[in-house]
Structure 1
Amino acid sequence: MEGKVLIIGMGLIGGSLALCIKEEHPDATIIGHDVNDQELRLAKTLGVIDELSPEMELGAKEADLIIISTPVTQTEIILEKLHNTDLKSNVIITDTGSTKEQIMRASLQLKEKGVRFIGGHPMAGSHKSGVTAAKKILFENAFYMLTPSGAGGDSEIETLKEWLKGTRAKFLIVPPKEHDELTGMISHFPHVIAASLVHQAKGSSLEHPYLRRLAAGGFRDITRIASSNPVMWKDITLQNKKVLLDIMEKWKMEMEEVMDMISEDDSERIYSYFNEAKVFRDELPVLSKGAIPAFYDLYIDVPDYPGVISEVTAYLAEERISLTNIRILETREDLYGVLVISFQTMEDREQAAACLKEKTNYELFLD
């Protein structure tokens, strides 16, 4: 496809989308805008974008596609500015925010102007941020949810999907309300729970000094998402507060049931509670990307002798396998292996496992 694409927000998502579009549509011109001039110029230097647009409105006027890749609260402000800008009659505007109902309401002003807005949410991310972390494979096999405004407009949806074809994502068309309910349960609510678990542990650490060391194993793993950007999660929580409050009311009721079965020593109900959770969790897809970015960990039961970590990383380096984190577990209850190595992709983890199986006799475990 030919034309001009304006991407507002040169972060991980915006930069990665730019790379995907450039790869699939080499004749297109990618224009970048960001309030951070340094990040914007870095995107140009790295070849992520073709042109700079320090003033958003100038780039918007000539764009055939506008992608708003900013925090959700900023998206509403940008929609207002676009409403007051002379745009092409056939321009398509989309966003990448994690909440949709409020954004879709804010986009109604564009609809009145005759401009097509299609809500978007690529369900992918990374432990890294900024345009330097952008990569073409970020969205590969991930769900990319689209929330059109009202009925009709199928041709615009197909045009947007064609522009985004290079993401290699799996597109789902859902109503905005359903989107927020789904992401509220499987993404937003877990972030609240993870943060609350960490808060509770922090309080207990004042009384129990060893807690920090003991939490370095499984507890740190299951609360990993609590390390996410607090500014972003403040915005998401407020944007999706109605859904979250409803889920939390149901959670309170469930916790009261759990407290009852424990206080009554009801071993049968307690067993069923854990067993039903295990069965449902074990049936969840392993190879699919979901709402929360997956962590591709490899657990290795290594012997305790000097240089063993250097030995493992040297084998991986020989095969040019990149890793994102490496750590030793002191507490390993319900976990396998003393050494944990994290990878960016499942392919990297599988390649690493094959490499270490060939070169060592260490036991390897995947979760």
Structure 2
Amino acid sequence: MNRIDRIAIIGVGLLGASLGLACKRFTSVTEIVGYDQNKDHLKEALEIGAIDGIIDNLENNSLLGEVDLVVLATPISVIPDILNKIQKQVRPGTIITDVGSTKGWLMEKINNQLRSDITYIPGHPMTGSEVSGPGGADAYLFENAVYVLTPLEPTPEDRQQALVELLEEIGAKLLFMSPAEHDRIVAAVSHLPHVMACTLVEAVGQAARDDDHVFSLAAGGFKDTTRIAAGSPRMWTDICLSNSEEILEMIRTFKGELAEFERVLAANKGEELFNRFKQTQALRQEIPEKKRGLIASTYELVVTIPDQPKAIGKVTSLLGEAGINISDIELLQVRESGGTLRLAFADGEALKLAEDLLREAGYKLKVK
């Protein structure tokens, strides 16, 4: 297979619709059809141009027999059943991939049900948002995002390369690993943080029951820290159940670290406490600033700029002269009347300064 021309996306929520938009904008894909149980999602995906046509059912649909690639962008728990339905209809040589957040459980479930003449290549784009549905779709969601593939054995090289080239065209940075390694890593960098965010909201919620002022003061850092707790309950239930062993291991590790912190604080050991904070600060600084990960950057804004020469330079110069450092910049959309520019900052203070300065200068913007 030299290239992928036609795609079917099963599940046109945030990731599915974003993938559709990205493929339409950055690749030579000729047609994208979509399916979703949520008819409103289907309608919206069609309206925003993420798909060209609708698959009305998965039981018997000729459109599935015409595509080169099927993307499963649904909750993990329903993928085995969907795969069982669609693989009866796709033609030999079709590539099937998914965007699921866990891999081991899924591979165990589907390992013995795959047709021998189709190629299943598990995938996981390490990007996302707490916003769900096609309304939050973004053609640039995969730009500079690590995209993990965990190919099964054997995987035909030409089909794997066709998928790799498509993903690279939408800006993804490909990384290959085993399902076990993938699940261990995401349990640490994605699943545990989500559990912690939810638990933190619950803990502070208990304090809020005793004092009405608690949540009214819970802004800034608290909202940033717990933002991911707003994610889809259905999706996160599936993730936790399908990767429970690795998540439980990380919870035990975190409990050990928290218990050690409690010991140091209870003993009033200031120097030891300082050293722990110092060590944590150093570890935190090792995280790459310019790569998109599983948890989207918090300190971002999107500013509308006019269609004029040096429009981008005026924005960056305005911030630079004020001593505000931009950690990442991206032109999102270009229209005849102007465009939109995404700016990312290292911390909330820089974001707030930039927001105030740009608003004062008359720019229309939105803080993400």
Residue type of the alignment partner of 1:225: I
Structure 2: distance between partners of 1:269 and 1:355: 39
Q: Is residue 9 of structure 2 the alignment partner of residue 10 of structure 1?
A: no
Structure 2: distance between partners of 1:203 and 1:244: 25
Which residue is equivalent to 2:76? 72
Distance 1:358 1:2, change over 3 A: closer
Which residue is equivalent to 1:348? 343
Distance 1:243 1:127, change over 3 A: closer
Structure 2: distance between partners of 1:344 and 1:201: 38
Which of 123, 136, 140 is the equivalent residue of 1:137?
140
Deviation at 1:102, TM superposition (A): 1.1
Q: Is residue 35 of structure 2 the alignment partner of residue 40 of structure 1?
A: no
Deviation at 1:61, TM superposition (A): 2.5
Structure 2: distance between partners of 1:27 and 1:242: 39
Structure 1: distance between partners of 2:219 and 2:355: 27
Deviation at 1:28, TM superposition (A): 2.3
Structure 1: distance between partners of 2:261 and 2:209: 27
Which residue is equivalent to 1:60? 64
Which residue is equivalent to 1:168? 171
Residue type of the alignment partner of 1:6: A
Distance 1:2 1:238, change over 3 A: closer
Residue type of the alignment partner of 1:348: L
Which of 24, 34, 37 is the equivalent residue of 1:22?
24
Output aligned runs, 1:120-269, within 5 Å.
120-269=123-272
SS at structure 1 position matched to 2:187: helix
Deviation at 1:195, TM superposition (A): 0.7
**Per-residue deviation, residues 239-259 of structure 1 (Å, max 9, x unmatched):** 111101111112222222222
Sequence identity, in percent?
33
Structure 2: distance between partners of 1:115 and 1:148: 13
Aligned length: 323
Distance 1:64 1:110, change over 3 A: farther
SS at structure 1 position matched to 2:259: helix
Conserved 8 A contact 1:24-1:165: no
Which residue is equivalent to 1:292? 295
SS at structure 1 position matched to 2:343: helix
Moved more, 179-188 or 220-229: 220-229
Output aligned runs, 1:43-122, within 5 Å.
43-56=45-58, 57-58=60-61, 59-83=63-87, 85-111=88-114, 113-122=116-125
Residue type of the alignment partner of 1:80: N
SS at structure 2 position matched to 1:163: helix
Structure 2: distance between partners of 1:274 and 1:144: 32
Residue type of the alignment partner of 1:260: R
Conserved 8 A contact 1:107-1:117: no
Deviation at 1:141, TM superposition (A): 0.5
Conserved 8 A contact 2:197-2:228: yes
SS at structure 2 position matched to 1:35: coil
Output aligned runs, 1:283-322, within 5 Å.
283-297=286-300
Conserved 8 A contact 2:98-2:124: yes
TM-score, structure 2 normalization: 0.79
Structure 2: distance between partners of 1:358 and 1:205: 34
**Per-residue deviation, residues 239-280 of structure 1 (Å, max 9, x unmatched):** 111101111112222222222222333333222211100111
Distance 1:294 1:33, change over 3 A: same
